[in-house]
């Protein structure tokens, strides 16, 4: 007769191991989720739904930055503290401060609300980053599946901010009408990815315009996006090749690298901040 106590002990050890992995992610002991779990198409759809309708260049930067989830909180704090800066002044401050984070994370500094979302939902960010490292093609397929739903239901279409083009199955692109300006789409996934409700005609609105001119070229802006047909993610004109296997050593080849690495030095004056929220000042521009 088999030993039932031994079997129970194995079950308990298994549960403790899973609990430890979850706690490690929640406590920020690692970057992307270490347990290499393959997510199902439905799980991936749910994972990307909140960002699937973002324009291609911004989405590529978010997916890349999600693999550096351990840097999100500090980057969000810096963005909040410098939210009074815009355009070239912001780009100059990023350069002068010699920020230690990956260029894809620095690329999101003009979007404090995006960094707040990533820092405030670290478990989601780590899940997304791990999926990007291990299931990049599946993640891109999920984005396309959600875009197709929003388009079929009439929510995703050309507007004053973005042009939506369909190059064939699985190739819906969203690009800014003016490549120097971005507006964050604001939408409820439960609405835009479901059948239209009676009397509801608007599902997507937009935040304020954010200028990203030539001064932001060192962080890949203007040369990032996707080759949807080949399921390739492009950052600063190069295929992004970070994976679960090489994620500790991989350094992306930026054509115009950011300021040379060195000790971080604050070289500009900070304005007084407003009341704190979630570890950082209120985002002034929002």
Question: pLDDT tens digits, residue range 99-117?
Answer: 999 999 999 999 999 999 9
Give the contacts of 8 (CB within 8 A, at least 6 positions apart): none
Would the pTM of this model clear 0.85, i.e. be above it? no
Question: Could you tell me which residues are beta bridge partners of residue 226?
Answer: 233
> What's the pLDDT score for residue 201?
60
Q: Which distant-in-sequence residues (6+ apart) come within 8 Å of 130 by Cβ?
A: 32, 33, 34, 36, 37, 67, 244
Q: What is the percent of the chain where pLDDT is above 70? A: 75
Are 96 and 260 in contact by the 8 Å Cβ rule? The answer is: no
| Two structure tokens written together for 90 | 């912001």
Tell me the pLDDT of the chain averaged across its residues: 83
271 pLDDT band, cuts 50/70/90, is low
Residue found by looking up tokens 């901010």 in the block: 161
The burial of 83, by beta-carbon neighbours within 10 Å (0-12 exposed, 13-18 middle, 19 or more buried), is given as buried
Distance (Å, rounded) from C-alpha 246 to C-alpha 74?
24
pLDDT at 275: 42
60-79 pLDDT, tens digit each:
999 999 999 999 999 999 99
Rounded distance between C-alpha atoms, residue 177 and residue 34, angstroms: 39
Q: Answer for the pair 87, 211: CB distance below 8 angstroms, yes or no.
A: yes
pLDDT over threshold 60, residue 198: yes
């Amino acid at each position: 007769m088999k030993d039932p106590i031994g079997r129970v002990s194995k079950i308990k050890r298994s549960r403790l191991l899973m609990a430890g992995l979850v706690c490690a992610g929640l406590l920020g002991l690692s970057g992307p989720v270490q347990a290499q779990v393959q997510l199902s198409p439905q799980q991936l759809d749910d994972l990307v739904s909140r960002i699937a309708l973002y324009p291609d260049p911004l989405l590529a930067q978010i997916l890349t930055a999600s693999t550096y989830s351990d840097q999100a909180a500090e980057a969000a704090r810096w963005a909040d503290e410098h939210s009074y800066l815009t355009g070239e002044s912001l780009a100059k401050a990023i350069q002068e401060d010699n920020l230690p984070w990956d260029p894809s994370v620095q690329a999101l500094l003009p979007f404090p609300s995006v960094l707040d979302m990533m820092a405030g939902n670290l478990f989601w960010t780590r899940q997304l980053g791990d999926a990007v490292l291990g299931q990049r093609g599946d993640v891109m397929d999920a984005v396309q599946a959600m875009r197709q739903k929003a388009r079929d239901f009439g929510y995703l279409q050309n507007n004053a901010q973005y042009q939506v083009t369909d190059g064939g199955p699985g190739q819906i692109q969203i690009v800014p009408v003016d490549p120097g300006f971005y507006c964050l789409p604001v939408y409820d996934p439960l609405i835009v990815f479901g059948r239209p409700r009676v009397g509801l005609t608007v599902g997507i609105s937009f935040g304020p315009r954010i200028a990203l001119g030539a001064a932001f070229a060192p962080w890949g802006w203007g040369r990032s996006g996707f080759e949807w047909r080949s399921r390739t993610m492009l950052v600063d004109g190069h295929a992004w090749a970070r994976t679960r296997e090489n994620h500790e050593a991989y350094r992306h080849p930026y054509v115009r690298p950011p300021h040379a690495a060195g000790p971080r030095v604050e070289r500009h004056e900070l304005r007084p901040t407003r009341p704190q929220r979630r570890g950082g000042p209120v985002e002034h521009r929002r």
